Amino acid sequence: MPDVVGVRFKPSGKIYSFEVNGISAKPGIWIVVESEMGLNLGLIVRSRHHMEKPGQKLKKILRIATVQDLEADRNNRNLENEAGTFCTNRAKRLNLPMKIVNTESTLDRKRLIFYFTADGRIDFRELVRDLASKFKTRIEMRQIGVRDEVKCTGGIGCCGREVCCKLFLTSFEPISIRMAKKQELALNPGKLSGICGRLMCCLGYEIDQSHKKSPRKKAATGKGKDKPVSKSEKSPADKTGIETAVTAVEVRTETATESSKTQSSQTTDKKTEQAGQAGQAPLPVRKATPSQKEKNVGDRQKADKTRKNNRGKPFNKRKKFWRKKK
203 or 21, greater pLDDT: 203
pLDDT tens-digit series, residues 226-281: 444 444 444 444 444 444 444 444 445 455 555 555 555 555 555 555 555 555 44
- Flag whether the pTM goes above 0.75: no
Average pLDDT over residues 150-155: 91
Average pLDDT of the segment spanning 60-66: 91
- The reported pLDDT for the residue numbered 105 is 93
Residue 3 near residue 48 (C-beta atoms within 8 A) = yes
CA–CA gap between residue 272 and residue 264 (Å, rounded): 13
What pLDDT score does 60 carry? 87
Position 21 confidence tier, pLDDT thresholds 50, 70, 90:
confident
Beta strand pairing call for 39-50 and 61-64:
unpaired
CA distance 158 to 200: 10
Q: Is the predicted pLDDT of residue 144 greater than 90, yes or no?
A: yes
**Cα angle 304, 306, 309; round to 5:** 110
Q: What is the pLDDT of residue 31?
A: 92
Structure-model confidence comparison of residues 24 and 203, the more confident one: 203
Summary mean pLDDT of the chain: 77
Query: What's the whole-number mean pLDDT along residues 175-204?
Result: 89
Task: Give pLDDT, residue 276.
Answer: 52
- What CA–CA distances, in Å, run from 196 to 3, 121, 165, 193? 40, 20, 11, 8
- With a pLDDT cut of 70, the percent of the chain lying above it is 67
pLDDT, tens only, 86-137: 999 999 999 999 999 999 999 989 999 999 999 989 999 999 999 999 999 9
Which of the four pLDDT bands, split at 50, 70 and 90, describes residue 190? confident
* pLDDT at res. 129: 94
Residue 77 has pLDDT above 80, yes or no: yes
User: Does residue 203 contact residue 188 with C-beta atoms inside 8 Å?
Assistant: no
Residue 179 burial by CB count (10 A; 0-12/13-18/19+): exposed, middle or buried? buried
- Rounded Cα distance, 207 and 178, in Å: 10
The pLDDT > 90 percentage for the chain reads 36
CA distance 54 to 141: 30
User: Residue 249: what pLDDT?
Assistant: 41
Residue 31: count other Cβ atoms within 10 Å of its Cβ.
Answer: 21
Give the mean model confidence (pLDDT) for residues 72-95.
94
Distance of CA 282 to the CA centre of its chain: 72
> What pLDDT sits at residue 221?
42
Domains of the chain by start residue, with CATH: 3-65 (no CATH), 71-144 (3.30.300), 150-205 (no CATH), 219-233+241-253 (no CATH)
Neighbours of 42 (CB within 10 A): 24
Specify the pLDDT at position 247: 45
